[in-house]
Every structure is written in C-alpha cells, then in structure tokens.
C-alpha cells in the first residue's frame, strides 16, 4: 500500500485508550441475554472479554447449549449498543 504522504503520527486504539466500551458491551450482553429468559453471571461475561468472535461464540454455546440462538443474541447486543450510541 502506498500512502499519499508520510504520516506524522499513528494512533492505536486498544479498547480503553480512547473509549471504554467494556461497560457498554457488558450492559448490552446482560440486556440481550434477558430477552431470551436467561441470565449471565459477571464471571461468564468476563470470560468473554478480550477474545475474538469465534471464541466468544463457542463460549456462549458452552454456557447455553447448542440450541442457543447465537445470531439473534448478537443482533440484540448490537441493537442495544446502537440505541445507546444514538441517545448520546
């Protein structure tokens, strides 16, 4: 890749540097899981933090079983985050 000019600086936003999304994602996960009549413990949530999507998907299925509606859970989580972002 060629850039039109040499950069003067680079910012690496490792979550928590510019924004801290963990609290919002936690809130979204807890709200979304409740929509399915389930609950999530703090320890379960913390086991998801910092992992890639595939690992989290596998972890969620291990918590709630193969019948867990993973795609609907992810949609509900994203919708919650989106709604909160629009309110700010």
pLDDT of residue 67: 96
DSSP H helical ranges for the chain:
22-34, 42-48, 53-64, 70-87
Rounded Cα distance, 22 and 10, in Å: 23
What pTM does this model have? 0.78
Residue carrying the six token digits 């299925």: 61
**pLDDT value of position 75:** 97
Domain spans, the chain:
22-87
The pLDDT value recorded for residue 10 is: 83
Residue 31: predicted pLDDT: 97
**Per-residue model confidence (pLDDT) at position 88:** 66
Query: What pLDDT score was predicted for residue 16?
Result: 66
Residues of the chain with pLDDT under 50: none
Residue matched to tokens 């999530």: 40
Determine the pLDDT at residue 76.
98
């Amino acid at each position: 890749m060629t850039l039109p000019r040499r950069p003067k600086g680079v910012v690496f936003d490792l979550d928590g540097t510019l924004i801290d999304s963990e609290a919002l994602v936690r809130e979204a996960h807890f709200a979304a899981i409740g929509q399915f009549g389930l609950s999530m413990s703090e320890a379960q949530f913390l086991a998801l933090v910092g992992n890639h999507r595939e690992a989290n998907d596998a972890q969620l299925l291990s918590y709630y079983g193969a019948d867990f509606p993973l795609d609907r859970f992810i949609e509900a989580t994203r919708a919650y985050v989106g709604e909160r972002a629009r309110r700010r």
